[in-house]
Amino acid sequence: MKLLNTLIEKVSDHPVLFIFFRAILENDFKAIRAVIRRELNLGPGQRTLDLGCGPGAFSDLFEKHDYVGADLNKRYIDYAREHRRGTFIASDARKVDLPDARFDQVLIFGLLHHLSDEDTRAVLSEARRMVVPGGVILAIEDIPAQHRLNLIGHLLHAIENGEHIRPTADYKGLYAEAGTIELEEELRSGVCDYYVARIRTPRV
């Protein structure tokens, strides 16, 4: 299992391989893309921050001048700057060097399950600071595989041991500190299960 874990870490660090294998495991992200299209405003002028954007696989859904992606991994950011549309910054999502109320909406996909509760609170607090009052945070995060026959899903999560894949109820508790959960659902994307929450930040 340790060897497999190391292999996955190596593959994950390479932007092209990361995109390739995730697209296979997640059926080309059809379900995730549909949720983003449904829950975020993709029209021109809607300023969007993608926290933990990775190599920028979802930047094409947004207007080029309205989209900012931030990620800790500089290799992903370099790749995104070269191959994607939008602005990309190398940054820790727990402390981002951008002004208050700079965005209308924030996307967080697949970031918080890598972080402890304390770090998750820091990211949500930054997201809340950078979005306008009454803005939206769309969080899509890994939950344990829901079907017992989803063997690959169970295996993937077993390998991600030590990370912070939480049951839905735990995410809910953390999100409630950032705003009101307006919409929530559990969703299957390829072999991965997610909890989707649209959080409305306080208006004052």
Ligand X SMILES: C[S@@+](CC[C@H](N)C(=O)[O-])C[C@H]1O[C@@H](n2cnc3c(N)ncnc32)[C@H](O)[C@@H]1O
Among 40, 49, 53, 196, binds ligand X (CB under 6 A): 53
Q: How many CB atoms lie within 10 A of CB 116?
A: 11
Helix or strand holding residue 196 (H, E):
strand 192-200
**Contact status: 35 vs ligand X (CB under 6 A):** no
**Contact status: 15 vs ligand X (CB under 6 A):** no
Among all residues, whose Cβ is closest to ligand X? 54
- Cα separation, 58 vs 80, in Å, equals 10
Q: How far is the CB of 56 from ligand X (least distance, A)?
A: 8
**Contact status: 73 vs ligand X (CB under 6 A):** yes
> How many residues of this chain interact with ligand X, rule: CB under 6 A?
15
Amino acid identity at 12: S
Show contacts with ligand X in window 82-101 (CB under 6 A).
92-94
Q: How far is the CB of 204 from ligand X (least distance, A)?
A: 28
Among 54, 86, 135, 190, binds ligand X (CB under 6 A): 54
Nearest alpha-carbon partner for 111 in 131, 137, 139, 86? 139
Per the DSSP assignment, residues forming a β-bridge with 70 are 51, 89
Strands 103-109, 67-71: pairing is unpaired
Residues 131-160 vs ligand X: string with x where CB under 6 A? ------------------------------
Only one of the segments 105-113, 151-159, 180-188, 194-202 lies at the binding site for ligand X (rule: CB under 6 A); that segment is 105-113
3-state secondary structure of 67: strand
CA angle 110, 115, 120 (to 5 degrees): 90
Contacts to ligand X by CB under 6 A: 52-54, 57, 71-73, 76, 92-94, 109-111, 114
